[in-house]
Chain A
Amino acid sequence: MVRFKRRYLLVEISFKDGRVDDKIATRLIYDTVKNAVKDSHGDYGMACVARSLQVKYVNPVTGMAFIACSRDYYRMVWSALTFIRTITFKKTAIPCMFRVLHVGGTLVSCQKFLIRHNKSQLLQLLQQCKTPAERQKISKTIKKAEEYEVPLDPKKRKIFSSTAVKILPDEEDFDSN
Chain B
Amino acid sequence: MAAFADLNVPYLDDPRATEKLVSKAVKLGFETIAICKTYRFQNECGKETRKGKGKGKDRASLSPINWDVFPAIQAMKNKNPRLKFYSRITIPLDDQNQIHPVFTEVGNAFDIVAVQPTTEKLFQQACKSLDIDIISLDMTRRLPFYLKFPTVHAAIERGVHFEIMYSTALRSTSERTQLLSIALDLVVFTKGKNIIMSSGAENELDFRGPYDLVNLGLLFNFKEEQSKAAITKNCRAVLFHSEARRGAERSVISGKLLPQHANEETEAITMETCSEDEASKGDDHQKEATGDGDNGDDNYEPTKKKAKV
Question: Contact size class for B?
Answer: 10 to 19
- Does B205 lie within 8 Å of A95, measured CB to CB? yes
Chain B residues lying within 8 Å of A39, measured Cβ to Cβ, are: 173
B212 touches A99 (CB 8 A): yes
Residue B176 lies at the interface, judged by CB distance under 8 Å to chain A: yes
Q: Is A114 an interface residue (CB 8 A)?
A: no
Q: Name the residue of chain A whose CB is nearest to the CB of B217.
A: A79
Residues of B within 8 A of A40 (CB): 176
Question: Which of A14, A15, A79 lies in contact with B216, CB distance below 8 A?
Answer: A79
Return the contact of B215 from the options A16, A82, A85, A97 (Cβ within 8 A): A82
A82 touches B205 (CB 8 A): no
Interface string of B187-216 (1 = CB under 8 A from A): 000000000000000011101110111011
Docked complex Cα distance between A82 and B32 (Å): 21
CA distance A145 to B215 in the complex (A): 33
Residue of B nearest to A98 (CB): B212
- Known A83-B170, A85-B170: A99·B176 in contact at CB below 8 Å: no
Decide yes or no whether B17 CB sits under 8 A from chain A: no
Structural contact, A16 and B205, CB atoms closer than 8 A: yes
In the assembled complex, the CB of B190 is this many whole angstroms from the nearest CB of chain A, namely: 21
**In the assembled complex, B218 has its CB within 8 A of some CB on chain A:** yes
Q: Is the CB of A79 within 8 A of B176?
A: no
- When distances are taken between beta carbons in the complex, the residues of chain B under 8 Å from A79 are 215-216, 218-219
**Whole-angstrom distance between the alpha carbons of A96 and B207 in the complex?**
11
A107 within 8 A of B: no
B28 touches A82 (CB 8 A): no
Least CB separation from B171: chain A residue: A85
Chain A residues near B212 (CB, 8 Å)? 78, 81-82, 99-100
CB distance from A98 to the nearest CB of B (A): 8
Instruction: With CB as the reference atom, state the residue of chain A lying closest to B213.
Output: A82
Q: A78-B215, A82-B216, A85-B170 are in contact. Are A99 and B208 (CB under 8 A)?
A: yes
- B169 close to A (CB within 8 Å): yes
Residue-wise interface mask of B (80-109) relative to A, using a CB-CB cutoff of 8 A (1 in contact, 0 not): 000000000000000000000000000000
10 closest A-B pairs by beta carbon, nearest first, are: A99-B209, A97-B205, A82-B212, A78-B215, A79-B219, A82-B216, A82-B208, A95-B205, A85-B170, A79-B215
Can you list 21 pairs linking A and B with CB atoms under 8 Å apart? Answer: A15-B205, A17-B204, A39-B173, A40-B176, A75-B215, A75-B218, A78-B212, A79-B216, A82-B208, A82-B213, A82-B215, A82-B216, A83-B169, A83-B176, A95-B203, A96-B205, A97-B208, A99-B28, A99-B212, A100-B211, A100-B212
Seen from chain A, the residues whose Cβ lies within 8 Å of a Cβ on chain B are 14-17, 39-40, 75, 78-79, 81-83, 85, 95-97, 99-101
